[in-house]
Structure 1
């Protein structure tokens, strides 16, 4: 289960980064903002998994 969460976190981080870069290149602020939010969501999920691993 933890591997699935880590994979999902990484996927969110990558997708968010791509949206952020594409939004910036196109001048699309809503896409850029959406990318930042998705990247942050992935960062939080990854931090949660790291905390769980540290407890083990």
Structure 2
């Protein structure tokens, strides 16, 4: 995973965190769920990229 990809994933994760917190503060369940989903997607991308690097090194 390149630095640019890592930065994009981290930005998506932070965006998801912000949405989730705003959803909590405004009692907006849909926004909270959307934020949680974005965070999960970003973390999965980072994990998948790490696995790809480990497989490439073998």
In structure 2, what is the Cα distance between the partners aligned to 1:21 and 1:53? 33
Count of residues in correspondence between the two structures? 56
Matched, 1:29 2:29: yes
The residue that corresponds to 2:18 in the other structure is 18
Unpaired runs of at least 5, structure 1: none
Q: Which has the larger radius of gyration?
A: 2
TM-score normalised by L of structure 2:
0.82
Q: In angstroms, what is the RMSD of aligned CA positions?
A: 1.4
Q: What stretches of structure 1 move > 4 A for 4+ residues in a row?
A: none
Unpaired runs of at least 5, structure 2: none
TM-score normalised by L of structure 1:
0.85
* Matched ranges for 1:1-56 at <5 A: 2-55=2-55, 56=57
